[in-house]
Amino acid sequence: MPSFKVKVKWGKEMFPDVEVNTEEDPLLFKAQLFALTGVQPNRQKVMVKGMTLKDTEWGNMPLKDGVMVLLMGSKEEDVPSEPAVKPVFMEDMNESELASAMDLPAGLTNLGNTCYLNATVQCLKTVPELRDGLQTFEASVGGGSFVPSQSITVALRDLYSAMDRGASFSPVVLLQVLRLAFPRFAEKGAGGVYIQQDANECWTELVRMLQQKLPAKAVEGAVKAPKSLIEQYFGGQFDVEYKCVEAADEPPTRTEEDFLQLSCFISQDVRYMLSGLRSKLQEQITKNSPSLGRDAVYTKTSKISRLPAYLTVQFVRFYYKERESVNAKILKDVKFPMEFDAVELCTTELQEKLAPMRDRFKQLEDKKVEEQLTLKDKKGGDTKVKTTKEPYWLENDLGSNNSGYYTLQAVLTHRGRSSSSGHYVGWVRQNDNTWLMCDDDKVTPVSSEDILKLSGGGDWHCAYVLLYGPRILELPEGTVLKAPERTAEKMETETASTPQE
């Protein structure tokens, strides 16, 4: 009988009916103890009748129902900090230390079909405001009760801290609390092996848990105070209009909808991301008509009334095949831009608010062209010009986007034919033209050209989730820009004349 319910004693605390499954790795049991006590697995000493549990095997541990398991170890915050690390020379470094010295982020160990989690963690790590929010999150786990949102937030915070120290790291604690919170991620297939999971479902659940625990940054004079940091930096809003197709005299109804992701639907006609986004923003639905007294066809038109700083776009690549009972994949090639302009998807009111910053971007680009022409025949050095970064958010709305301009900063891809098989990889931007391919514990530099090849069309990695960050306006010292004179109508004209497709 590989599964038992035991008693765990830690100091003065007692935890009854803790499940132990000896068919799983002992580290998963230690991760479960972390969720209960807050003691990191590397600080745990687990004993049963004088025998100590190893990380790699159960050995001859005398486990049975009701047996007493003794846990020794302190929470990290209860242990004095280590002394400063001594300098290490490059010739004395191992492979992981060299990766850290070369500014390559840590990889994540695949614990058996867990690439969906590893890719998601690497992509979300590119958001500095999320990292700051996690670092200042002071809660811990323990106390005997399992709170999914708190345990996942603490586990992700601790995982990012460990990854910052370099080297490949095992996300065993985050994986265990994710499976405890959402049992579907613990599903097993033939032979008792954990099955592959949908990375976008993992992304959605992680963000939803963080949304419950990370508080928003305070803003004086905010028109609408966000409830969480996730809503503040990842959350957008639609203005939605419903117009009855079958009753022309029925007045349209209007409402608002919140979103954390935009969906890019892929049909036979869709060749570019913007087209797929447009198809979702105007669609036919069926709902009850008060004037007709029955269900009728409506046109649902959505326009974005708030753009978040970080825009998540999911490519809807999977659909359910009843005959094979599998989420089959659409391999179609759909191009996505490195620089995305979302203004076309916005309401007229929001376009008016975006106009001033868009005008500043245009003025700066014009100045750069003029300076290049003026200095063409002059000899110049390589002295770097100091720049000032302007805020990317609207006044009194921290975490929004004030221009509609975005820069691609992370891509989550899938290689395979169904969401429950294949392999997921995270691709993250390191600087302007250098990206990093985060394939579990292997992190490799790649170019922007390699990223653009992820648009699909074959059995190579296909973009599944894209993460766009705000395009930052950097003004060289002494640069003065004119006050904006543009209107939303003029902006729409310019956008139409230079389509992203």
Query: How large is the average pLDDT for residues 359-363?
Result: 94
Q: What is the DSSP string of 397-427?
A: BTTB-SSSEEEEEEEEEEESSBTTSSEEEEE
Distances (CA, A) of 182 to 25, 33, 108, 174, 178: 19, 17, 21, 12, 6
Percent of residues, the chain, with pLDDT higher than 90? 56
Catalytic annotation, pick one of 115, 123, 244, 346:
115
Higher pLDDT, 491 or 441: 441
Confidence of residue 320 (pLDDT cuts 50, 70, 90): confident
Q: Which pLDDT does position 457 carry in this prediction?
A: 85
For residues 355 and 472, give the distance between their C-alpha atoms in angstroms, rounded to a whole number: 15
Q: Which pLDDT does position 90 carry in this prediction?
A: 46
Tell me the per-residue pLDDT of 449-470, one tens digit each, with 9 for 90 and over. 999 999 998 778 999 999 999 9
Q: Which pLDDT does position 458 carry in this prediction?
A: 79
Catalytic annotation present for 414: no
Q: Which residues contact 163 (CB under 8 A, 6 or more apart)?
A: 105, 106, 108, 125, 169
Tell me the per-residue pLDDT of 50-100, one tens digit each, with 9 for 90 and over. 888 988 888 888 888 989 999 888 876 555 555 455 555 545 555 555 555
Q: Which pLDDT does position 344 carry in this prediction?
A: 96
The most confident of 22-31, 301-310, 377-386, 475-484, by mean pLDDT: 301-310
Domain boundaries, the chain: 3-72
Catalytic annotation, pick one of 123, 414, 423, 462:
423
Tell me the per-residue pLDDT of 80-93, one tens digit each, with 9 for 90 and over. 555 455 555 545 55
Tell me the per-residue pLDDT of 380-426, one tens digit each, with 9 for 90 and over. 545 567 889 999 999 989 999 999 999 999 999 999 887 778 999 99
Higher pLDDT, 47 or 485: 47
Mean pLDDT of the chain: 87
Catalytic annotation present for 115: yes
The fold of 3-72 is Ubiquitin-like (UB roll) (3.10.20)
Q: Which residues contact 394 (CB under 8 A, 6 or more apart)?
A: 353, 400, 401, 402
Do 205 and 145 contact (CB within 8 A), yes or no? no
Tell me the per-residue pLDDT of 251-302, one tens digit each, with 9 for 90 and over. 999 999 999 999 999 988 899 999 999 988 999 999 999 999 999 999 999 9
Tell me the per-residue pLDDT of 8-32, one tens digit each, with 9 for 90 and over. 988 888 889 888 888 888 888 888 8
Residue appearing with tokens 């002295």: 383
For residues 26 and 176, give the distance between their C-alpha atoms in angstroms, rounded to a whole number: 12
Quote the tokens at residue 301: 């038109």
